[in-house]
Amino acid sequence: MCYRNGYGLRCECCGMDNQKKKLTAEEESMARVVLHFLDIWGEMIGAVKFDEDGQVPYMITVTPGEQMKVISRDDAEEYLPCFGEDDVIELAPETDFVISYDRQLLFKVGDQKYLDGPALIYKVDDEGEIITLDVAEIYEIQGMLERRTLMVTEDGDEMPVLALN
């Protein structure tokens, strides 16, 4: 095998054909991790695209205990059916963004408010129109979610919730 041809393609320098090099279990595992990472970033990069009118408004959907997702404004009702109709809209904790959620999924313990269902987090302009989030803002939201997601116990069952104040 030619040292220049470790992965089995026809070698330009000596013309030898070789079998493809088999990956070790560790290399296969690392390749899966890299491909998974690229899939996630591919989805996020795909979410930051333009249409003929400018930027498409994108927002974050989150359910406590699950990974956040970047979605378009057009998909908001799929994640929060009451969006734009009967949802609660307020400032998201620790940020200047808006959070929207179903009031039936909110519970209080004393003065503390907890959300145990899906919510949308997004940015609005001075006129209240939804505008797209940039990468730095997505990271800011992700940090806030990590700090504010707590595990609470109710009747012996543990569940993740988002602390809103």
Show the CA angle centred on residue 132, arms to residues 131 and 135, nearest 5°.
145
Q: Which phi and psi angles does 8 have, rounded to 5°?
A: 85, 10
d(CA 11, CA 7): 10
Q: What pLDDT is attached to residue 19?
A: 53
The one-character DSSP state at 107 is E
CB–CB of 60/141 below 8 Å? yes
pLDDT at residue 28 is higher than 70: yes
Number of structural domains (the chain) is 2
Per the structure, the complete domain to which residue 128 belongs is given by 51-163
d(CA 48, CA 42): 10
Q: Do 114 and 37 belong to one domain?
A: no
CB–CB of 31/23 below 8 Å? yes
Q: What percent of the chain has pLDDT over 70?
A: 79
pLDDT at residue 120 is higher than 90: yes
Q: Do 13 and 33 belong to one domain?
A: yes
pLDDT at residue 62 is higher than 60: yes
9-24 pLDDT, tens digit per residue, is 556 666 555 556 677 8
Q: Do 98 and 122 belong to one domain?
A: yes
Q: What percent of the chain has pLDDT over 90?
A: 13
